[in-house]
Amino acid sequence: MKPLVFNATPLIYITKIGLSRVFEALRGEKLTSPRVKREVVDEGKRKGVPDAIILEKMFENKVFKVTKPKNKKFLESLLETRGLNVTDAEVLAIAKERDGITVIDDEVARKTARIYGISYVGTPYVLMRAFFQGLITKERIKQAINDMIFTGWRCSVESYAKIIEVLEKL
């Protein structure tokens, strides 16, 4: 099973809607970068957001393994992409090095992943995978998607329609 390499958005929004237990129960290795941890824990705590405290405990309990990209030249080449921030580039580099799947929602990051042949999925994939592992119901996924949107997760109308279509086929 390929490791999942998480960017900040999936960690933040799945935790915000009360489904952080999904991360703990998901099979397989779950990786992220030090910058993601800093964003979701340190910056989150500084802002006083409750999901940061939950995520901090998950990092302490080794639910997520924090790792740095090793191939600095590849990371530098990613950073030449206009609109790709350092955190996204690190997550993509880790996924490439570890033959993992990046869990990332940013459109520039997704296009970059596609160009470099890096596997990627979005936040809804985590919920679907939880469904297939028997961790949550299809109805709970629908509610989760709506709750994430309500809390600020960005999702185009087209993407929303596709997510619902896929859920109906389960």
**What Å distances lie between residue 69 and 25, 28, 94, 164, CA to CA?**
26, 19, 5, 35
Q: Indicate if the pLDDT at residue 136 is higher than 90.
A: yes
pLDDT in tens, 67-122: 999 999 999 999 999 999 999 999 999 999 999 999 999 999 999 999 999 999 99
Q: Is the pLDDT of residue 44 over 90?
A: yes
What whole-number percentage of the chain has pLDDT above 90? 96
Q: How far apart are CA 58 and CA 147, in angstroms?
A: 22
Longest dimension (CA), the chain: 44
Residue 170 has pLDDT above 90, yes or no: no
The pLDDT of residue 93 = 98
pLDDT mean over 35-58 = 96
Print the SS3 string covering the chain.
CCCEEECHHHHHHHHHCCCCHHHHHCCCCEEECHHHHHHHHHHHHHHCCHHHHHHHHHHHCCCCEECCCCCHHHHHHHCCCCCCCHHHHHHHHHHHHCCCEEECCCHHHHHHHHHHCCEEECHHHHHHHHHHCCCCCHHHHHHHHHHHHHCCCCCCHHHHHHHHHHHHHC
| pLDDT grade for 140, boundaries at 50, 70 and 90 | very high
Q: What gap in Å lies between CA 63 and CA 83, rounded to an integer?
A: 30
Tokens found for residue 37? 């941890």
Among 135, 3, 1, 133, smallest CA distance to 65 is for 3
Structure tokens at 25: 């129960």
Q: What is the mean pLDDT of the chain?
A: 96
10-29: per-residue pLDDT in tens? 999 999 999 999 999 999 99
Residue 31: predicted pLDDT: 98
Residue ranges and CATH numbers for the domains of the chain are 4-169 (3.40.50.1010)
- % of the chain at pLDDT higher than 70: 100
Is residue 89 within 8 Å of residue 71, measured between CB atoms? Answer: no
